[in-house]
Structure 1
Amino acid sequence: MRFGALAVMLRRVCIGDTMATLHLGQVLSFDGSPFDEGHDAVWHERRGALAVEGDRILAVGPADAMRAAHPAAEVIDHGDGLIVPGFVDAHAHYPQTGMIASWGKRLIDWLNHYTFPEEMRFADPAHARAVAGRYLDLLLDHGTTSVCTYCTIHPASVDAIFEAAEARGMRVFAGKTCMDRDTAPEGLRDSAQSAYDDSKALLERWHGTGRASYVITPRFSPTSTVAQLEALGALWGEHPDCLMQTHLSEQVDEIAWVKSLYPSARDYLDTYEAHGLLGAGGLYGHAIHLEPRERDRLREVGASLIHCPTSNTFIGSGLFDMGGLTREGQIVGLATDTGGGSSFSMLRTMAAAYEIGQLRHRPLHASELLWLATQGSARALHVDDRIGNLAAGMEADFIVLDLASTPAIAQRVAQAGDIWEALFPTIMMGDDRAVTSTWVAGRKR
């Protein structure tokens, strides 16, 4: 931590904020990206403090200096717990909560056999509300404080997740999934016009309300007609402050399917680009099997690629090129992709990203993995000025990790020589037991 920045933080914590709370423990925050700056991007204080007032972080610094600067604050001592930003899951399907870990299908069969029948149940608003609450509680248990999720074609599924998020104070990104092509089952099809109308109405109802952000959501090109893609591209053009999420180049047979449905397209990405669905606010899930032109265009426009490692291995999709994509300047976020992903845990997701990196001969360091699950995903969602880090002025979403949560992890940590050796076993072997508390907008959840 630079001394000048620390002095500013300490001055801020002294100015009239008598209701502040000091959280003591190990503290880890980012001054930049470890992919670009290595360990110099990370600040770790063995005995640090996080000052919170209301829903905002006031200051971060060494515990002794923070306590001296703010003697009237309530103190919560987390002992040796590691205070880190709350995890940010950049791509998920909350309606698939009930069918997570369904056995052994390729993507297209998996959608038809498991996903679509499950999503039809969301025609019942009561079912949508029950699953939305259960899903967000599962995320909080695992230390995830923000998520970007697909809903179903039913507008009530969008209302359900935003209402559940509002009740928990969570920053959530979500949108109605749009599908009008007969490749989707009859009970899950809308139309180009209804997709536009429903999405616009939901956007006007929710976008920017509290911590809600609406995301324009064509599921992917194989389940949308050209007319629907054009309608959603037009809606995005009318509301460029919204994000847009979809899927791209997840499996090789999917790419062949897209080529058969869009024979005049230059490549998979062109099915979006030609209809106004390529831009800086675009979130492209998976992006494993990209052509050189696609990589160039994604980088040129500043789009975000979302890595979903447990899903990619569980469904057998392929190995994301983290090393090559980050070297060439792509923006990358990290995600569970539940229920194609096999875990609600971002710790497990980080572990899978490490394993895929090993197979790609580019193992990710613990600092890179944690950054991807926090500030990296926040950056991909264009909110890294609000969430994903511990710094003055940021929203107070953070978690406390027990770095010795199980006997197996504890015996390894006992031999650790630095914070990264102490954190890495929790990344590789940790689960919800490692998350001792989750704080959303400054409140324990």
Structure 2
Amino acid sequence: MSTGFDRDPDEFSRGAKAAVVYPDMGGSSRDADARLEETAGLAAAIGIHVREKVALRIRSPKPGTLIGSGQVEALAETVRDQELQLAVFDASLTPVQQRNLETALGCKVIDRTGLILEIFGERARTAEGRLQVELAHLDYQAGRLVRSWTHLERQRGGFGFLGGPGETQIEADRRLIRDRMARLRRELDQVSRTRSLHRDRRQRAPWPVIALVGYTNAGKSTLFNRLTGADVMAENLLFATLDPTLRQIALPGIDKAILSDTVGFVSELPTQLVAAFKATLEEVVSADLLIHVRDVAHPDSEAQKDDVEQVLSDIGVAEETPRFEAWNKLDLLDADSRAYLTAEAAKRDDVMPISAITGEGVDALVEAVAARLTQGHRRYHIELDPADGAGAAWLHQHGEVLEQSIADDRALYEVRMAPRDYDRFWLRAG
């Protein structure tokens, strides 16, 4: 039987018939079926045709194959019977386990990290996104060196986990990887510096930054489009958004704010990706307010929330950063579930039940966000040169001008604004 190893990598990755395998080692708060569905969705995101979904109970992980010998034999029979070319393991495999499983099953094997990196490789559109994904991929593969490195000269998306022969020039590969990673880090450092400059300009502007965060496919981009009138890719597809998008919006009492749509998080997000996407995620770290979009129709919604909170903690988001939970996808709930969640949300002041698709609850969310951002505003007395038209316009645009007059060749203003904005006002010309 042909194992698919000699097929063209592009053809293989886009049309492979695969089995998704979830080694259930216990101790997880997630439902095994939901986990299988999520991994199948990840595979479908890059055109893999999932034919089998298998949950395997693992009492003791085997160093050589992770799963037991009997389970390997049964899985190999499934691969033969279904003529599968790929097995996707929803777990982290060591290089030895990956090679041994490929030999035993007679097909390609990739783990969860490899699958997510492959998706990110196809989805990255900006130069920055491609740099970040390639760095993460090289870091992942550095300890494996079991695949061709021709992708380094390739322009297509993806990184060739799903095809290509092994490379025998290990030392040359290692040198190539080290040199390439060093160059990518230098380029990403420059990206980070550029982002810092942009943030400094926004601080001086001063426009509050609101970041949408959440589990992949929770509906962030759909909400982003509804709030901004943009047309960011929003599909029922895992990791539909990869590169960050910023848009200007107006809120009640706030003439201008910046809304940021960010990459979706996922359980067991590869550490390589967290590190590589640090420049992008800095938009989240520096945000004035976070909106955590949750898919409350998903059976693992609570576990997904925990995963998002863990990533936010990992990237350094301060606990005191104001945040709202947008309980999204009300339109998918039955009447009883809707009534229960609506009642629960009413008990909290940081939760808004919404449907980004229908618009239900979105206006209330916007009003709550605006109220939080304007919370703590104080009254300030400000004196300006009467010729400082830009300063006067700034005060009217970003604060509430209560009184204004001219005395002793000075323009006098009584303005209500946030202390943060008051500080930014004096920094604007600095």
**How would you bin the TM-score normalised by the shorter chain?**
under 0.3
Greater relative contact order, per chain length (Cα 8 Å cut-off, separation 6+): 1
Q: TM-score, normalised by structure 1?
A: 0.25
Q: Which has the larger radius of gyration?
A: 2
TM (normalized to structure 2)? 0.25
